[in-house]
Amino acid sequence: MDQQSYFLKIALCGDGAVGKTSLRQRFLGKGFSTSHLMTVGADFASIERTIDGERSLFQIWDLAGQMAFQNVRKRFYQGCFGGLIVFDLTREETFINLNSWISELWKYSGRGIVPIVLLGNKADLSRKVSDDRANAYAELLTTQMTKQYGFEVPFMITSAKTGLNVTEAFEAIGKSIISLMKAGRIQMHK
């Protein structure tokens, strides 16, 4: 039997310096760097992985988190099937800004409401946002999304530095997208 292939364009969204680039680099197998340049506009990379026995090409769009790039980001969301919404566990304001990131993705994806996974990054450092608070937010979103759109919104803590849950986070969004594609809730070609 011929194996189905899936193209998964996903966006990495969140405020500047929450670790989006470091998470992407870790997932691509490039390890962790203590210094990198600020993302200007967007950057992307692709990697093929097998998710639940399905060949999947991840096209990962790392979007600049600074307000100066807000108008530029709009075009990079187009065609996204889902997103990893990242906040920094050590900076509460990045958690408070999650709603605007989720709204931006959904508004400009061209697909409407698409699946997301919330990531509390920098778990290796001292936290300002508790797991309970982040889980409560994810549960609230899950209640809304499950009823209307058929997907849950998981919350995961990650560390690009140690690798904690990085692969699992990308696999979680991949599984959610593929499941919705198989159910006909997301069209592969739109």
Mean pLDDT of 147-171: 96
Residue 140 token pair? 């609230």
What pLDDT sits at residue 188?
A: 73
- pLDDT surpassing 80 at residue 154: yes
Q: How many CB atoms lie within 10 A of CB 172?
A: 20
Closest-CA residue to 161 (of 15, 71, 26, 17): 26
60 or 66, greater pLDDT? 60
Domain locations along the chain: 5-182
What pLDDT sits at residue 169?
A: 98
Residues 154/115, Cβ–Cβ less than 8 Å: no
Quote the crossing angle between the two packed helices 98-108 and 70-77, to the nearest 10°. 50
Helices and strands of the chain, counted as H and E runs: 6, 6
5-182: what CATH class? alpha beta
| 99 Cβ contact partners less than 8 Å away, ≥ 6 residues apart | none
CA distance 20 to 24: 6
Q: Please return the burial class of 94, using the count of CB atoms within 10 Å of its CB with bins 0-12, 13-18 and 19+.
A: buried
Mean pLDDT of 88-95: 98
Residues 44/19, Cβ–Cβ less than 8 Å: no
CA distance 109 to 4: 24
Give the end-to-end CA distance of the chain in Å, rounded to a whole number: 26
70 or 177, greater pLDDT? 177
List, for residues 128-153, the tens digit of each pLDDT value. Answer: 999 999 999 999 999 999 988 999 99
Q: Give Dmax (Cα) for the chain.
A: 50
